[in-house]
Structure 1
Amino acid sequence: MVTLLYPLANQLTPLSWSRVVLQKPDITMVFSLVDLCAKEVVSDHSSSPCWLGSVPRELYGPLLEAAFTYCRPLAIGELVQRWPERALAVGRKRRPGQNPPNRLCVQALLLAVVRGLADKRCALQLLDLCGLQCEDECVEDSMGGWSLTVALCSMVLQATVAAQKGVRKEGERERKRSLETERTRDSAIKRDRGSGGRGIEVEKGSEEELEGKGLKVDRLRDLRVEEGGEVVMGVRRRMEMQKRSGSVDLNRESGDLDPEPVLLHVCADLFVNARSWERMRGALTSQGPLRLHCRYLRVEELPAPSIAALLSLLPEQGLRGLDIRYSSLAVSGLALLLPLLAPFSHLRALKLHYCNLDLHRALPGQEGALKDMSQGLGGLKGLRHLSLTALRLPGHLRLLLSSLSQPLEVLELPYLSLTPADLSYLSCSPHASSLQRLDLSENRLDESSLPSLRRLLSQATLSLAQLSLCGCGLSDGLLATLLPSLSCCRALQSLRLALNPLSLTGLLSLVRTAAGIPSLRLLLYPNPLEEYEAGLPPMPSSAQLLDWPLAEEGEIREAVLFQLEELLRQSGRSSDLFLTSDLLNFTKDLLEVE
């Protein structure tokens, strides 16, 4: 199999592969042939000494991908330890249906990175692990964001310790070489004296005379005059001069070692909570050969001062998103943190979920803190994604969003207790025409707020790709008023309307409208009221719909599914429009907005 890989690599480089596929589609089988050969090569670890030393660098990528796909951690370790390229990206994008890397494979990768620092064959300088974590609990033996973050911090600290040990060993070897050189020179001078050679002889009786002239014997002993008459300094004298000039002394204790030069930059998405906070701080403050960079930072259950300290340790370049969850920040904590985000010029996404912020009650100093929050948001010049979940900010949306210098592309405001005045401002704001994703779930909608929502949809008709109105109390009558505006959203790809009190008649109207939107790919619809067991209130809330059991008889459910399928068939959308009422396990949205 190895012999098959070599001619492929020599004849078809990664760039020429794309040309071949574009010009001659009938030979796209080259890709599958390379994959099959790579699978066979990495499956037999006993043969690795035969091909590792001579495999072309163009084949390291397919071999590493095969090792991850078929869970070959030993092959991963050997390939990464001698990686021939300056950059390596793992986890950015996976093929459709491809599972995330196995935990053992990720651990083998991180161990190989540390070993590669001492391997002259390794050219790796940038390791991109963004997107490597797996948050799907159904995938077995995968590594979640918290576990991956802890492993990365351990890798950084391990590399620092290894580098310090290497410096101490090198210092000890240098000291021994210096002592040996000095002994050799002393022996040579003694031989020269014994054979009548020229040199400076310091006799016992002349030391006092020399000291009287202002010369120290120690300094004189550190001078050696060779046969050519050149004066050179001894080892002790050189070490004294290095110490005075601030040069590195290799014999110092590990705690006093100068910072190591950065050999490898590691970029990843990090997940920090109270249990991993100390380890994260140690990794970010370590002065070793690995430098940790963060693309997206997720923080849970940390107080505002700890989050502020963490932000001060992160490199300002590269942070694109911050997600703070379940932290008791309140208005004062957010007013403290938001100004600290201004130096992160690449920050595009800010998510605040369940941060104990409730403005239903008026408190002393609340308005001033809100203004500080608004100014802090205004300092985020690159912000495009803002998510505020359960912050309870009724009537304050204008104050928060009007300070932003650039229009938002993603706005998520679930459980925010929005008022008609908030929706009215949003429909007329600069953000309306640029929104690609909008989430207003669990905000009660009524006749007074629907005009503003319709105006908002008309403004976003060319940009809006994802819309979520789950649990907004949309009845058949309210939905009928909203459907014409929805049908005009020609870019809409995902529409979520679960937990709204619709009857079967209202649901059928919704599906007809959805089928008439050519771009729509996903509809998360609510179970009609006819499917629930008896006793449900006429206008139930979203919480009641979520908790109320569905009827055990499957006839009603089957009848509803049959009518929905018939509507899709008649409209010609059976193959490209996915309908589901499963709130927890529906197909993931098709559009990804960073």
Structure 2
Amino acid sequence: MVLSLVSLCAREVVSDHSSSPCWLRWVPRELYRALLEASFTSCRPLAVGELVQKWPERTLRVGGRRKLGQTKPNRLCIQALLLAVVRGLADQRCALQVLDLCGMQGDEGEIGDSMGGWSLTVALCTMVVQARAGAQRAQRERKRFSALEREKDVKRERGPSKRGKETNGTDKELEGSDREMKVSCGSVDEEELIKGVRRRMEEKKRETVVTGLGGSRKENEDVNSDVLVHVRADLFVNARSWERVRGALNTLGPLKLQCRYLRVEEISVSSIRTLLGLLPRKGLLGIDVRYSSLGVGGLAELLPLLSTFPAMKSLRLHYCNLDLRRDHPGQDETLKDLSQGLTQLQELRRLSLTALRLPGQLRVLLSSLPQPLEILELPYLSLSPTDLAYLSCSHHASTLQQLDLSENRLDENTLTSIRRLLSQASTSLQHLSLSGCGLTDGLLGLLLPSLGGCRALKSLALALNPLSIAGLMDLVRMAVRMPSLRQLLYPNPLEDYQPGLPDLPSSAQLFDWPLDEATDINVTSSQLKRVLIESGRTDLFLTCDLLNYDKDLVD
């Protein structure tokens, strides 16, 4: 990645924190963005804090989709950013009104010191609560200062008091007449007296207006508290962070937390329903539910609530205990409720279902959707030939941009449906995953013409398929003839494994079986790279690293 002159200069400027008082005072607002990016790249949390606290623009966006080779912001830098946002609430030089952190969340335990989605969610909720507490402290200070001012006004009106503990009623009358004489003679400043009376009248008038809106003044101050900064983010909620997230969403203060994509793990249907009730209706674009025992009935219960979010485009369900293989009493009625709930999701464009055990039920789910899908992910779904036959003829086939059929066994009975599906999606499909589908050299050879016809394909994943080195070479020769393809995730050939594998190993066996140390794996990589060099395809990235493969890094 070639850096611009501005980026290089910005890195040099933020490298020395001791010089920040010199340049920060005079830097033009057009350079704040370049300096902040340089601070993140160089891991300079102090510079991040100083820039954000005086941010001169209305919107600050940090995160979004990463490019190839671009790292995520450091944890210390993110923490410095959040602290600076709270401090900037009291800084008149800060013009920030919208903080957008969408797309920045990563997975916990990633390589490096980036902040995971759960940690970032907890930090955001803490920031919202701290800002609320700070606003309350400032409000108490203002009230105390106003009380002192009123007390001073009263003293100015009354004049100096010489009364002591032994003052009797006659002395009070004399002092009162004496004070009136002093006022009439001008001993008390008439202008100060008028100011004090006017101030008290204005405050009383404001108090009357506020209490007239209904309720006490304190209650209305809480309800009508001004939001200074709207914070947009993708939230990750589980049983440990549930209470904190709910408290932050209920908090009224200078920071308002908004959610774009909601990911929940291991929480009940009732908790998910409560959480959705706290979110703004217009902001939520998608929900990702993982490792929660929803059941078909729980999903049918949530779908009507999801339909109240008009911009809901994504629904992802992973390991949610949806099992329709067994004959349960009332299953037909539950399926009917599920179908009706899906019908109400008017804007849904992405549906991801992982390990839900729904063989033979794909028509029930997909035919209910009013609009064709653009992203369909169905790994570990035990799809039957009937399911794949329906999918190849459905109204979704010609609009799919992303398709994941990983870990669904393919054979001669499903090959015709897969080829028809690829033909229907040939002009739209950009990302395809057929990892762990049991594709042998023979099956892949029959499928290669259909794969080669996908003219828009950018990434192709075929890991954990039992291919030989000959089948792998045929795959790469086909890939180099696809001008749009940028990434290919290929499987280790069977020759690279230790002896003992069965003739048709499963994906689990290929994943767990050790590679043969006596075999030089670099030989396979060199053979594949030679095909790339001979074809002149320097823009095609080949990898067998399943754990670090990321299709989203394709430009």
Query: Could you say whether these structures have the same fold, taking a TM-score greater than 0.5 normalized by the shorter chain as the test?
Result: yes
Whether contact under 8 Å (1:300, 1:326) holds in the other structure is: yes
Partner of 2:332: 367
Residue 57 of structure 2 corresponds to residue 85 of structure 1: yes
Classify 1:71/1:475 alpha carbon distance in 2 versus 1 (closer, same or farther; 3 Å). Answer: closer
Whether contact under 8 Å (1:156, 1:283) holds in the other structure is: yes
Offset from partner CA, 1:324-356 (integer Å, 9 cap, x none): 111111111111112111122222221111111
Q: Which moved more, 1:143-152 or 1:371-380?
A: 371-380
Classify 1:62/1:553 alpha carbon distance in 2 versus 1 (closer, same or farther; 3 Å). Answer: same
Residue 157 of structure 2 corresponds to residue 193 of structure 1: no
User: Which of 133, 144, 147 is matched with 2:119 structurally?
Assistant: 147
How do 1:417-566 and structure 2 match up within 5 A? Answer: 417-555=382-520, 557=521, 559-566=523-530
TM-score by length of 1: 0.83
User: Identity across aligned pairs (percent)?
Assistant: 61
Classify 1:563/1:431 alpha carbon distance in 2 versus 1 (closer, same or farther; 3 Å). Answer: same
Q: Which moved more, 1:503-512 or 1:460-469?
A: 503-512
Residue 29 of structure 2 corresponds to residue 57 of structure 1: yes
Whether contact under 8 Å (1:329, 1:355) holds in the other structure is: yes
Q: Which moved more, 1:71-80 or 1:500-509?
A: 500-509
Classify 1:125/1:506 alpha carbon distance in 2 versus 1 (closer, same or farther; 3 Å). Answer: same
Code of the residue aligned with 1:402 in structure 2: it is: S
Inter-partner Cα distance in structure 2 for 1:95 and 1:480: 33
Inter-partner Cα distance in structure 2 for 1:101 and 1:350: 27
Inter-partner Cα distance in structure 2 for 1:519 and 1:303: 43
Q: Secondary structure in 1 aligned to 2:412?
A: coil
Partner of 2:167: none
Whether contact under 8 Å (2:11, 2:39) holds in the other structure is: yes
Inter-partner Cα distance in structure 2 for 1:247 and 1:177: 25
Residue 580 of structure 1: CA displacement? 2.5
Inter-partner Cα distance in structure 1 for 2:351 and 2:183: 87
User: Which of 527, 541, 544 is matched with 1:578 structurally?
Assistant: 541
Code of the residue aligned with 1:317 in structure 2: it is: K
How do 1:208-357 and structure 2 match up within 5 A? Answer: 235=200, 239=204, 242=207, 246=211, 257-357=222-322
Inter-partner Cα distance in structure 2 for 1:33 and 1:564: 38
Whether contact under 8 Å (1:461, 1:491) holds in the other structure is: yes
Offset from partner CA, 1:335-393 (integer Å, 9 cap, x none): 11121111222222211111111111121222222222222222222211111000111
Aligned residues: 534
Residue 80 of structure 2 corresponds to residue 108 of structure 1: yes
Inter-partner Cα distance in structure 1 for 2:206 and 2:31: 51
Whether contact under 8 Å (2:211, 2:217) holds in the other structure is: no
Inter-partner Cα distance in structure 2 for 1:403 and 1:190: 89
Inter-partner Cα distance in structure 2 for 1:314 and 1:137: 28
Whether contact under 8 Å (2:68, 2:554) holds in the other structure is: no
Whether contact under 8 Å (2:108, 2:117) holds in the other structure is: no
> Structure 1 stretches (4+) deviating beyond 6 angstroms?
251-256
Code of the residue aligned with 1:273 in structure 2: it is: N
Classify 1:89/1:196 alpha carbon distance in 2 versus 1 (closer, same or farther; 3 Å). Answer: closer
Classify 1:288/1:478 alpha carbon distance in 2 versus 1 (closer, same or farther; 3 Å). Answer: same
Offset from partner CA, 1:516-555 (integer Å, 9 cap, x none): 2222222222223233222222222222222222223215
Inter-partner Cα distance in structure 2 for 1:240 and 1:255: 15
Question: Is there any run of 5+ residues in structure 2 with no aligned partner, and where?
Answer: 161-175
Greater relative contact order: 1 or 2 (C-alpha under 8 angstroms, separation 6 or more)?
Answer: 2
Partner of 2:141: 169
Residue 581 of structure 1: CA displacement? 2.4
Classify 1:38/1:523 alpha carbon distance in 2 versus 1 (closer, same or farther; 3 Å). Answer: closer
Residue 252 of structure 1: CA displacement? 7.3
Whether contact under 8 Å (2:487, 2:554) holds in the other structure is: no
Residue 469 of structure 1: CA displacement? 1.0
Residue 585 of structure 1: CA displacement? 2.7
Residue 257 of structure 1: CA displacement? 4.0
Classify 1:191/1:82 alpha carbon distance in 2 versus 1 (closer, same or farther; 3 Å). Answer: farther
TM-score by length of 2: 0.88
Code of the residue aligned with 1:582 in structure 2: it is: D
Classify 1:561/1:440 alpha carbon distance in 2 versus 1 (closer, same or farther; 3 Å). Answer: same
Whether contact under 8 Å (1:565, 1:574) holds in the other structure is: no
Residue 264 of structure 1: CA displacement? 0.5
Partner of 2:7: 35
Whether contact under 8 Å (1:91, 1:132) holds in the other structure is: yes
Code of the residue aligned with 2:501 in structure 1: it is: L
Inter-partner Cα distance in structure 1 for 2:548 and 2:279: 35
User: Which of 150, 156, 167 is matched with 1:184 structurally?
Assistant: 156
Whether contact under 8 Å (1:34, 1:62) holds in the other structure is: yes
Inter-partner Cα distance in structure 2 for 1:240 and 1:49: 45
Whether contact under 8 Å (1:182, 1:234) holds in the other structure is: no
Classify 1:241/1:150 alpha carbon distance in 2 versus 1 (closer, same or farther; 3 Å). Answer: closer
Classify 1:591/1:396 alpha carbon distance in 2 versus 1 (closer, same or farther; 3 Å). Answer: farther
Classify 1:381/1:248 alpha carbon distance in 2 versus 1 (closer, same or farther; 3 Å). Answer: closer
Partner of 1:379: 344
Inter-partner Cα distance in structure 1 for 2:479 and 2:538: 14
Inter-partner Cα distance in structure 1 for 2:58 and 2:178: 54
Q: Secondary structure in 2 aligned to 1:322?
A: strand
Inter-partner Cα distance in structure 2 for 1:541 and 1:103: 40
Inter-partner Cα distance in structure 2 for 1:234 and 1:558: 84
Classify 1:496/1:413 alpha carbon distance in 2 versus 1 (closer, same or farther; 3 Å). Answer: same
Residue 589 of structure 1: CA displacement? 4.4
Code of the residue aligned with 1:141 in structure 2: it is: D
Partner of 1:120: 92
Inter-partner Cα distance in structure 1 for 2:66 and 2:393: 40
Whether contact under 8 Å (2:268, 2:292) holds in the other structure is: yes
Residue 59 of structure 1: CA displacement? 1.9
Q: Secondary structure in 2 aligned to 1:309?
A: helix
Inter-partner Cα distance in structure 2 for 1:71 and 1:421: 53
Q: Which moved more, 1:499-508 or 1:410-419?
A: 499-508
Residue 106 of structure 2 corresponds to residue 134 of structure 1: yes
Partner of 2:532: 568
Offset from partner CA, 1:38-64 (integer Å, 9 cap, x none): 233323333333333332212222222
Whether contact under 8 Å (1:81, 1:116) holds in the other structure is: yes
Q: Which moved more, 1:253-262 or 1:283-292?
A: 253-262
Classify 1:528/1:43 alpha carbon distance in 2 versus 1 (closer, same or farther; 3 Å). Answer: closer
Residue 248 of structure 1: CA displacement? 9.4
Q: Secondary structure in 1 aligned to 2:56?
A: coil
Residue 480 of structure 1: CA displacement? 2.3
Code of the residue aligned with 2:319 in structure 1: it is: Y
Code of the residue aligned with 1:84 in structure 2: it is: P
Q: Secondary structure in 2 aligned to 1:181?
A: helix
Inter-partner Cα distance in structure 2 for 1:583 and 1:40: 37
Residue 172 of structure 1: CA displacement? 1.8
Classify 1:181/1:496 alpha carbon distance in 2 versus 1 (closer, same or farther; 3 Å). Answer: same
